[in-house]
Every structure is written in structure tokens, then in C-alpha cells.
Chains A and B, each alone.
Chain A
Amino acid sequence: MTETTAITEELLRVEGVTKRYGANTVLDDVSFTIGRNEVVGLLGDNGAGKSTLVKIMSGVVPMTQGAYFWEGTRYDGIDRQKTEELGVETIFQDSALVPQMSITRNIFMGREITNPLGLMKMREMDRITTEILDTVVTIEGIKSAKQLVGSLSGGQAQAVAIARAVHFKRSLLILDEPTSALAVRATEALLAYLRQLKGEGVSSVLVTHNLHHAYEVCDRHIVMNHGRKILDVRREETSVEELTAAVVEGAVGVERFRAGTF
């Protein structure tokens, strides 16, 4: 036990997670751990169960069977309210922000700074947003905190979503296909930023089907195939080639790769 789990400190652990929709089993007995200050890649082809797993980790969808541990404590009946309290933030592809609202209103959405009557302190919120955009994550091309998110590019919007998570001191950031809508330079910056977050005590899970992006930035890789976890390896124990074999051909691919016949 102790010799393999060199993970620093346990943040999130799921055990035996199974998810069924009717007779259809989407996740089958999946267990893994996310350590503190760790960047974990969650990989797999379309339909591997990545999205469902993300929804279960963030409490949006309940699991059929399995257990959810946060810092070693078991939580039953986990929902979004609870994961919000624990400090999980998920940035879903294309849907983390409200395009019709300003950057400030998006950053403080659901966590507004208000007076006792519930009226928002707009100036203070604008000021803090300006500060966040200047310090936490500098984003080129943004002119004002009052700008509508809908007028931002994909990369800028992702950055705003990440800045929000960092500002509210989330401990686990789950990014669902964050690079799929980004230009090359924005992607590079995003990946560099994930490593930076690690230094600030934020763990992240990067869900992607771009193996090169994942390999570049993640400390550990979890590969899913048809609802099962088929690989869970540290960066130094694997290679882009092995990950490719796992994603493309599943467990068979890993065996073949290790036997040298892939």
C-alpha cells in the first residue's frame, strides 16, 4: 500500500463508483484518488465515461453505487451544494459563464458582495474584479470588468472562469475539455497556468482527449475506457505512446504496448 501511494496528501477519493442509466452502465466500479497540489489528467475516448465521472465528482449527478471521500471523510448523498462547500469548482466546456452578463457579475455570480438587504456593492465588485484580472491571471485584450462575457474570446472566457475559481480559493478545479475551443497560444498559457495553480495549493483535474496537452502538464494520468478505469499512472512511469495505446485500444492496448507489439 504505502510504497505505491506516494501522493502527497489525499484530497478527493472515490471508491467503487458505478453509474447506471436504466440498463446502461456508464461507469463500472471506478476508484481513484486526487492528491493535494496534484494535476491529474482524466483521459479517454468519446463515450469512455469521462463526462459522467466529472459530473459525479462535482456533485451534479448522483452515483448509483460507490463512496465519496473528501480529505478522508466519507460523504453520503453528495450534491452540488455540498461540493461547493468543500471547494470543488467545475469549468464545463463552453458553459461556465453567462455570456449576457458582465465579467464582474460572472465572477461574483452566486457569491455576490452585498449589504444586509442583499443589494450588491457594484463598485467594490468591479474594483476586485479589476484586481483579479490584473493579478491572479492576466488576460490580454480585456478592457473593463464591465465588459460582457459574450464579447470575449474563448480563451479569455476560460481565463475568467479560472480566475473566479482561484479568487474564491477553491481546492479542486475540474476542467472539462478546456482546450477544445482555444487557439494554440491560449492553450499553452492555460496549461502553464494549471502548473502555476498547483503551487498555490489548488489541485486540478484536466479532462481532455488531447494526450499531448495532458502529458505536458499532468502529474498523473487516469485513462478511462467503456466506463472502466484501465490505467492510473504517474507521469514518469508512462509515455505519450502508452497513453495513446490505452485511449485507443483500452486495456488490451496497454498490454500490447507493454509487450512491445502495439
Chain B
Amino acid sequence: MTATENAGTPPTDDAPVPDPNAVQITVNGVAHTARKGQLVIEAAADAGVYIPRFCYHERMTPVGKCRMCLVEADSGRGPAVTVSCMVPVMPDMKVETESPMAKRMQEGVLELLLANHPLDCPVCDKGGECPLQDQTMTHGPGESRFVEEKRHYEKPIPISDLVFLDRERCILCDRCTRFADEVAGDALIHFISRGNTTQVMTFPDEPFASYFSGNTVQICPVGALTAKPYRFKARPWDLEEIESTCTTCAVGCRTVVQSSRDELLRSQGVDSDPVNWGWMCDKGRFGFEAVRTERVTEPLVRTAHGLEPTGWNAALRSAVQLIEDGKLAAGPSAVAVIGGARGSNEDAFAWARLAHDVIDTPHVYAQMGDGLPVGMLAMPRATIDDTAAASTIVLLGPDLKEELPVLYLRVRDAVQKRRVRIVEFTPRESGLTSLAWKSAVYEPGGQVEAVRAALADPEIADQLAAGPVVVIAGRSNLAESSGATVQAVQTLLAGVPGATVLPAFRRGNVVGALQVGMRPRPGGLDTRGILQAAADGKIECLVLVGADPLADFPDTDLARRALAGARRIVSVDTHLSASAQHADVVLPAAAFGEKSGTTTNLEGRVTTLGRKVTAAGTSRPDWMIATAIARGLGTDLGFRSVDDVTDAIARMVDGYEGVTRDALADSADGVLSAPPATIAAIDPVEVEVPVRNSYDYRLVVTRKLYDAGVTVSNSPSLAHLAPGQRVHLHPLDVERVGVQPGADVRVSSSRSAAVMRVEADPTVLRGTAWIAFNQPGGNVGDLIDSTAIVTDVRIENL
């Protein structure tokens, strides 16, 4: 029986169905329909009325700490002082935000907040974009009656390597401390000495070393928290900004890039609901420093005296000559192209066209041997939102906190707020292990068995059968071939019909590059195959497009032999990387913030990149370089502007039909692309894992957020945060080796031997050894044999 029948009126087809979630309220006398359970502050915002606030943040639990949002509300028992960020709407509630009583309260709160707040706005970094300053102007009393001496603290004090705290300016809104505890899960700052001297503080000698510390600076409603890279660099009114997408990793956080006097000065997170919710990791936030550090600013050509600067015409002629000579020597398939994952979709597409259509080589690949086969993209794909809405998330990939930090925040939120359960398979404890419902730590190569055991466990099987399952799949260990992980994913998908996959590919635009064509044609080699062929002397010309195999390919020895074995090397790069130093021609490429275009994140979401500053020196976007080389080789790709390339992608790439410039302009959250049908699914994989000799340790090599890569090592604020290379063993294994933690040991594999410090680490499985990849001064890549299923090492007392 419907409500209409109940009321005795005859049912009509067009009678509106009453919305059970609608709540009728009035805001400042104007009727408004709010949602059930909605907070008054949000409902008022929907009705177009801004209620001033400091502590309230839409992505965090309301705490009612600052009292700035006091309004007068009458829910039937007469007007009452109401904290609008804590009270949900009630039927027929009358909210007054501008009544004399409301104004008196707001002015009173502001006067009290300002009693101890220094009036140093002219020298404060926040001045000009400060909520306290702005709301004092809009809602404040205008004059203070406070004539006494204000409170004084030592200022500013560093609470981490990146963040400074000025306690005099702090209004104790609980935003940073709430963020640290609730969002980041690093409750390293807290209110100390609560009472008259409450202050935000860390524990002595335990700094706020969170990967997400920069967010607290962004959400601080006053100038209490400032970030080292931006302190005293600019005034907000001098900044120009453009919306863009962070390409540090494949999550694709929306960001606004700000510059002054043609220099990148700051990145701020933008709240994109399907992706980053306004958060960023510190590497993405502060990594822009690399854009202005140690760049290649002009083309370089190898002469008898080494790499010498030259003009673009000469350099392009040399590059074209090298490619043509390579083709002449041994045919088009003697030319190979590696890279493209660091740039835009346009860069990758132009290079794919050049490689496939102009040079006509099948050997093209955007991955660096540290991911999973491109066929992973053909699996039924989940979005980040699907993942957060699943009932079970299966982790079969890297430590998200280290490699895809903001995805870690989204998964963490899903577990904490939505009670999503995590079933984790990992070679060592990860950032999510403490939140996982079930966590299986396996010895490298053992993931298939671990997945089978989990599927056979009735409790886990029930959970997996209960609702949507999303598998986050990626490369969890660089010292192990991808085979076992692929087989484990296949086993899991066979056992859980309907499960979808979120590919945890790491590098900025790797999914976009693969989808628009930077992948081998039938018969083409992947990166390991290309490097092997180069080492065997079969590659006449190797083109590196923003690729640095010496740093990024897990098997450093093979990379070294490949660069020595390739007859000619052309490098297109922003920085003179270790690999670029081996090139015969280096073409300087424009970096993040210096070029526009689009990028694709790990879920296939295409968003725009913004160009904010002039490219360093004479560097050019990669797509322009590809177009020029194609012209040199006698083919006009037809690209006159970056928009031409974007249009060509929409026209020509399967899965990008909807990704038009109009669609991108209409949608702030970007447009989802689909994997091209030409990406073939991976055939079932069977991996035979060799047995480990009980004297040996199975090697686990993973990335940390801060490493010796181009972004971190060229960002002065981040470079010293890389932890360095150590071998981590279980404490009992350290004892077995017969050394004290902190001593040097010899680590030897079939490839090479290295001496490094040993750490006792209970998060490492017995019989395995964990070493972080590509750390400053590190050489773990020398130990890894990329042809082996797993790498075993011997560890000896010196």
C-alpha cells in the first residue's frame, strides 16, 4: 500500500513519490530540501549560505572544536545556539545564520580566537589565503578589546623535515591532528599539555615523519603549519595557478600547480571525488622541485670529447641518422623503443605512432620490467571507487603505502569507515597489514600456494563469496619474475567469479602509455627482451623515452650490458640520467608543469595536465620531438599542436572514443577510458618455483616512497629522506648469520656480491631477506637476475 492510497486520494500516475530522505528546513527564511542525516553546515552550503568554519572539513569527522560555525536554529523548541557542523538537520528546522544572535556569537568566537593569535599577517605565508584572516573580515567584530600581552612560544619549530609549526598562530582546530590520526594513520602529532597551554606537538625525537605530512599544511586554517619548500617563497596574490594531475605515480591525484615569476612554487591537492579527495603524498606535493633542478636544457650530441651541447636541428638530424643507420644495418626490428610512461598520453601516442608506423619496429614497451604483463589491463577492471565500495579487497601487489600512497589512503578509509575487509598476500608486512582482516606473508614464489590455501579456507571463501571482490594486483617483489604473481591472480579470479582487478601499476602514465600504443606488436619484445637483445648485440638503435634502465630495471647488470651492447642510443629525457649519459644523442624533454595534455591513471581515468611554466632551456614536449623525428624520417604525423594529438587519440585509439577535449572540459573528474580490445588476455601461467637451499635467503626487493629516482634525488627537500640501502632480516636470522644488527654483511647471489648493513626486522619472514630498491649508493640491482623465477642470496659475516 503506498502513501497516496493511505491518504485516501485516488492514485495518479504523475503523483510525486515522496522522497524518504528529504528533510524540509528553512535557511535564513528560505525553504530548502536537505538530505536526512545531513549536517546543518552542509545543508546550508547546498542552500547557498556559507557558514564560517575552521575545524570542519568535509573529508574528516566533525569535532565541533572551533565553535566558529555557531548558528541559531529552531527545531520546534525555540531558537537555540547550535554547532552547525555537529548537528544534523531535523524536519522543519529553522536555521538563522545572520540573525543578531548568530552574528554576536560569531563575532565573539572570532574575538576570542584572535586574543592570542599574532597579527603578523604581513610576514605570514598564509596571509592572503588565510581562512582566519578572511573570516575575520567577513564575520568578525572589526576591532579587538584585548590589550594584554599575547602568548609567546618559540617559533617556528620543525616538527618534521618538511613541516614547521608556529604555535602562536595555532587556533587548536584539530585539523592536522585529526588528519594524522584519522586519514593518514600516523598519529605522530597530538595535543600536548591540554588545558591552558594546549599545543600541537610531536613526541620528543619522534618527528611527524608521515608520507602525507604536507596535507596538514594545506588544511591548516591559519599559518601555524608551513612547508619548508614554500616558506617565504611567494605571496598568494602573486601566484598563478592551473589545475593539473600529479604524474608522480599512477594514482593520478588532481592538483593545482602554482607558480610565480615563471617558477613552480607549490602544488596543492584538489578534491576529486573518485580519486584523491584532496589529499596528496609528500613526494607528489614537493617533487615539483625536480622540475627546476639539474635539467638538460639543450640537446647534447656525443663527440670525441663526450656529450656536447648543440642546436635542435643538428641534434634531430643526428637522431634521425642514428635511427636510419640502425634500420639500414639490420632492418626495422633492430630498432627498439623503451619508455613513455613518464609523459602524457599525447607523448606516448606520438612515440607509438613513430615507432610502429614510421620506424616499423615491433619492439616498443612502456614498462621497465618492474610491473606485470600488459595483459593485466585486459582483465575485468575495477575503479578506485569500486575498490572502496567492495566488500573484500584482495591485495596481491606492492605495498600501496610506498608505491601508490593516495590509493593507500582510500583503501585505509574503506577499511576504517566502511568496514571493508582486506585479504592480503605479501612477501613482507606492508603498510596495510595492520588493517588487514587476513594477511598471508609468503616466501617469494609461494603466492600461488598461499592463494590456494586461502580459497580452501571456509571462512575466507565465505567472505569472498559474500559480495563484490576487487583484487589490487601489481608487482610485489622486483627480485622475482612476475610469473608467480600472474598465476596467483589467475588462480584467484578462477576461484572468485566476478572479481575485478585494479592494476597497481606504478609509474605516472604507464597505463595510458600502454593503452595508446607503447606496447609490443605481435612478435615484439618486452623491455627485458629488448635489453637482452641489446646485450647480445642485436639492437642497432635503442631509443629511451624518459626511460632509465640503469636505475629502474631490476636487473642492473643486464641493463648495463644492454647499454654497452646497443650500437646507437638516443635518449629523450628531462634530466641527464645514468642511462642518458650513455646516449649518442640526448634530446631535452619538457617536464611536468611545462606541457599540457592528458594522462591516464591506473583505473583508466583520463584527466588533463596543465602547463604553468616555460619549459627549461630549449626543451620540448616528447610528442613534438617524436613528430620532428618522424618528419626527418619522411612521414608527417599531422600533429601541429597538442590538441591535434588529443583529437587523434580519441579518433584512433580503441577505448578512448569518449575521451574528447569537450568531454574532458565538461568533467572535472576526468573521463574513464577502456582497455583496447587488442590487448590480449594473459594465457594461463604455470610457474615452477625452485626449492630454496636452507642456507640461502630468498630475496625480496621493493620500492620505498623516497629513493634515488629522478624526482626525489633532484628535489632538495626530499632527497635526504631516502632511507638508504640495508638488508633486513628476521632477528633470529640475524643471529643465525652470527652478527649484531648494524654490522656489515656480505650478500651474494649468482650474479654478484655486495656489502651492506644488516637490520633486525621482525616484519620480515624467516628465510627471506628484504632490501629496498634504488636507494642512494645502493647496488641491490646487481644481485637480481631477471631471467630467474626467484633470486636466492647467501648472507655471510665478513
A binds B: no
Q: Which residues of B contact A (CB under 8 A)?
A: none
**A interface residues with partner B (beta carbon < 8 Å):** none
